[in-house]
Amino acid sequence: MELVPSVLFLVLKGVSTALFRRLVLRRKTVASWSIPLECAVAVTRLMVDSEVSEEDVKAYREGSQARDHLVRKRERVTALKDGLTDAPAFPGCAVIPAMIEHIKAEWYVPKSCESSFAAVDSSEKDRTVVINMHGGAFVMGTLNMFRTHTSRMAVTLGMSVIGFEYRLMPKHRFGNILDDAMTMFTHLRDILGYKPSKIVLAGDSAGGHLALSLALHLRQQGFEGPGAVVVLSPWVDPGSYSEDVNSTTGFKEFGHIDIMGKGTQMLQLGSLAFSTDDSYRSLLLPDIVQQARYLPPCLVQVGGCEVFLPAISEFVRLVNNGNTVTGAEKVRFEVFKDQIHGFQMMGDLTPATQQALDSAASFLRDVNL
């Protein structure tokens, strides 16, 4: 398999670079980081950088035959990478495969929820359920890739969580992606009988953007929205990444540290999922900010040294400072010092992973979910 040598090379290169910096040069990227975390970040930076090339972005922009070739390439790479490993579930969590129309999904059911989940087809649910939307810049992401994180979330929250594989760029646009998220919500509401007020929308990175967009879309369509939204390092402003990513404030400040610091091509390709007149291309647009002030309780977490920190901070500031709907903060904002983009997926490499998920559980208890 041609992919295996390239992956092994990136792992060896990342680990050796990090170890040389720490053990020979006696330098730390971030003072509080352990050696294993620094190695993991170095490897992930290289993986992200290799995911999409400048030629891929150019091919998509050219359209037609070049784009069709890119679609086939991305599908092949995704299948190969997904087949390299079979990610385990977090201890204490059952994994139940599901198909929701055309969408591949998995339920993550902690032991504390097994009895209520067993009745899912015969009674309305009084317990809270979470729809989790994976990250990956709308370009990558599978159930296998996020299984350990999503099942850990389920165990920590003490709630059943359903994850799903939405359609991806470059074959599909954001409208298709949002339709898939809407399908998941309506299935839980109309087929499985969950009350909207008991459904939590969650997501990381691009999935965080999708969770927020779905909550906004439900309101725009006149439907009852979710009970809460929990987003981890959400990509709130993808429209600004279509051209010179390195010119953004976040990349100037944290591009040399964060795992996304070398992911400029992947972000550029993902940003092309949006047409220029798509209001969801940026959640910082005035109309979107105004609508966001009517959202249900929302938790936003971000790493203190990630490239999306400035944009996420601005989103929270705009929503909270102009909130005249309730007279209170609509968004609870948590910045985790020294943490990178998507640190909640780093497992036991950093204690901030569990701290962040524990905080999410506390937030949902505070809003009576």
Positions marked active-site: 205
The answer to whether residues 302 and 308 touch, using CB atoms and an 8 Å cutoff, is: yes
Burial, 321: exposed, middle or buried (Cβ in 10 Å; 0-12, 13-18, 19+)?
exposed
The answer to whether residues 227 and 296 touch, using CB atoms and an 8 Å cutoff, is: yes
Longest dimension (CA), the chain: 62
Strands (E), the chain: 93-100, 103-110, 129-133, 160-164, 199-204, 228-232, 298-303, 331-336
- 144-159 in b/e form (b: 16+ CB < 10 A) is bbbbbbbbbbbbbbeb
What is residue 229's three-state secondary structure?
strand
DSSP tally for the chain: helices H, then strands E:
13, 8
What are the contacts of 287-291 at 24+ separation with CB within 8 A?
Answer: 288/216, 289/315, 289/318, 289/319, 289/322, 290/322, 291/216, 291/219, 291/220
Q: What is the DSSP string of 205-227?
A: THHHHHHHHHHHHHHHTT----S
Three-state helix/strand/coil letters over 293-355: CCCCCEEEEEECCCCCHHHHHHHHHHHHHCCCCCCCCCEEEEEECCCCCCHHHCHHHCCHHHH
Q: Which residue has the tokens 């979330």?
A: 153
What are the contacts of 311-315 at 24+ separation with CB within 8 A?
Answer: 311/236, 311/237, 311/240, 311/248, 311/249, 311/250, 311/284, 312/233, 312/234, 312/236, 314/284, 315/234, 315/236, 315/237, 315/283, 315/284, 315/289
